[in-house]
Amino acid sequence: MKGISVQLRQEVYRSDVFKIIDWLEDEEVIRYLNEQQNVCSGIRQVLDRVNMPILTHLFNQNGSFFVITINENEPIGFLRLVPKLSGAEMVIVIGNKDLWGKGLGPNAIIEGLKFAFFNWRAGEVVAKVNFRNERSLKAFRKVGFRQEKELAKEIQYAMSMDEFLKLVA
């Protein structure tokens, strides 16, 4: 994929957490997310209790959490992989609204797929995208995800490891 190069960083620094809170408090950013209403206050409570510069372990419970970065470590969003029976589910957020529409989402999705398939050895990665979330729908289709099924409020997309290997070959 052409465009700006993105990296996924597993280390979550204290400064990243403040950016994540800002993103999660922005109605435009979280409009289509299924996050709990009080997630930011929970994160703030953890910041108050834990005086550590790296908070990676707190974000990697029930899966793998990555900070999406550009320009040698500038955080612009996050990606989460959650283990499922058939493989993994991916959630991606580009929190920096100034960078929406610049192709960063598809590039981050590809990096997440590499991790899921090559590190976790997942057989399949799925993403559940709200029907109205045009940017995410476009990003997953651009990468090559196929529509698997329609749910109540979302479309479930999927990609197998074999499909991914054909794309990158």
Buried/exposed code over 61-92 (b: 16+ C-beta within 10 A; e: otherwise)? eebbbbbbbbeeeebbbbbbbeeeeebbbbbb
Percent of the chain past pLDDT 70, that is, above it, reads 93
For the chain, which residues make up each domain, given as ranges? 7-168
Whole-model pTM? 0.91
The string of pLDDT tens digits covering residues 101-156 is 999 999 999 999 999 999 999 999 999 999 999 999 999 999 999 999 999 999 99
Domain 7-168: homologous superfamily in CATH: Gcn5-related N-acetyltransferase (GNAT) (3.40.630.30)
Residue 58 has pLDDT above 50, yes or no: yes
The string of pLDDT tens digits covering residues 24-45 is 888 899 888 876 556 677 777 7
